[in-house]
């Protein structure tokens, strides 16, 4: 059954998760993310306009997003990017919203959380053209064929539940190769629950399963990888 935000935070704490970022994908959800960060210790917010929510984007949207980005509990812009898998917004409109958010992230000196699906080439091109001087976090990483390019650019690589799935050999191989100082873990709650919770609504506590799977392919302990990824998150999000 569904759990409240407070219950999810408490459950995560019991699993050893003491900091997390909740993500906005539009004005309403970004405001809710800030509210959750204000209410619950250890929760920070990212605010942004998801490509699915960019169909009605206008430059005026950057004004409310800028105001949100200045909130003390906000640690990143996003998630933003490109998604050509579902036809919720024209590619050119998605690109306009994406570039505007990259510019805002640079202005506010904040990292940016990137969503990309079936749009790897255009995503990486726009980041190359407009992402200079920004800490780029590739959320729910899937760009295994572009891994060398991603690593050469110094982007942060964040793995979610799919790295635990039986057929995700390419993701696990990528997780084994990412330098320790570029590696992050996440849940993408309430989506993409890792094994053995696959098929159920995801929760922040489940990041422990993703961490364990990555530790295994990297030949390290979960305790060591926990320390590494926690330090990385603290560095990129300014905790």
Q: Would you call 238 helix, strand, or coil by DSSP?
A: coil
Span 114-149, pLDDT tens digits: 999 999 999 999 999 999 999 999 999 999 999 999
> Phi and psi of 23, rounded to 5°?
-110, 135
Full strand arrangement of the beta sheet holding 20-23: 20-23, 43-47, 74-83, 112-117, 136-138, 156-159, 183-185
The full set of domain ranges for the chain reads: 17-237
User: Helix crossing, 207-218 with 222-237: angle to 10°?
Assistant: 110
Tens of pLDDT, residues 24-72: 999 999 999 999 999 999 999 999 999 999 999 999 999 999 999 999 9
Q: pTM to 2 decimals?
A: 0.96
What number of other Cβ atoms are within 10 A of residue 57's Cβ?
A: 20
Q: What is the pLDDT of residue 103?
A: 98
The CB-side HSE value for 130 (13 A sphere, CA atoms) comes to 19
Multiple choice CATH, 17-237, 3.30.930.10, 3.40.50.300, 3.20.20.140, 3.40.120.10: 3.20.20.140
Q: How many of the other CB atoms lie within 10 Å of CB of 27?
A: 15
Eight-state DSSP code of residue 206: G
In this predicted structure, the answer to whether residue 170 has a pLDDT above a threshold of 80 is yes
Q: What is the arithmetic mean of pLDDT over 204-221?
A: 97
Render pLDDT for 71-88 as a digit per residue (tens, 0 to 9): 999 999 999 999 999 888
Residue 1 has pLDDT above 60, yes or no: no
pLDDT in the model for residue 86: 87
């Amino acid at each position: 059954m569904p759990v409240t935000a407070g219950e999810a935070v408490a459950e995560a704490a019991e699993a050893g998760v003491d900091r997390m970022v909740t993500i906005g994908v539009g004005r309403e959800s970004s405001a809710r993310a800030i509210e959750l960060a204000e209410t619950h210790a250890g929760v920070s917010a990212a605010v942004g306009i998801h490509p699915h929510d960019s169909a009605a984007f206008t430059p005026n949207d950057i004004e409310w997003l800028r105001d949100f980005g200045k909130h003390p509990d906000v640690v990143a812009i996003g998630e933003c990017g490109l998604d050509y898998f579902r036809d919720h917004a024209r590619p050119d409109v998605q690109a306009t919203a994406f570039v505007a958010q990259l510019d805002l992230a640079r202005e506010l000196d904040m990292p940016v959380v990137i969503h990309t699906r079936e749009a790897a080439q255009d995503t990486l091109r726009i980041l190359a053209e407009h992402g200079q001087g920004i800490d780029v976090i590739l959320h729910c990483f899937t760009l295994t064929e572009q891994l060398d390019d991603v690593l050469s650019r110094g982007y942060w690589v964040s793995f979610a539940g799919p790295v635990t799935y039986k057929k995700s050999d390419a993701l696990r191989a990528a997780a084994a190769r990412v330098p320790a100082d570029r590696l992050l873990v996440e849940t993408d709650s309430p989506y993409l629950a890792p094994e053995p919770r696959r098929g159920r609504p995801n929760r922040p506590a489940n990041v422990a399963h993703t961490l364990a799977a990555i530790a295994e392919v990297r030949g390290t302990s979960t305790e060591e990888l926990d320390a590494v990824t926690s330090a990385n998150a603290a560095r990129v999000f300014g905790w």
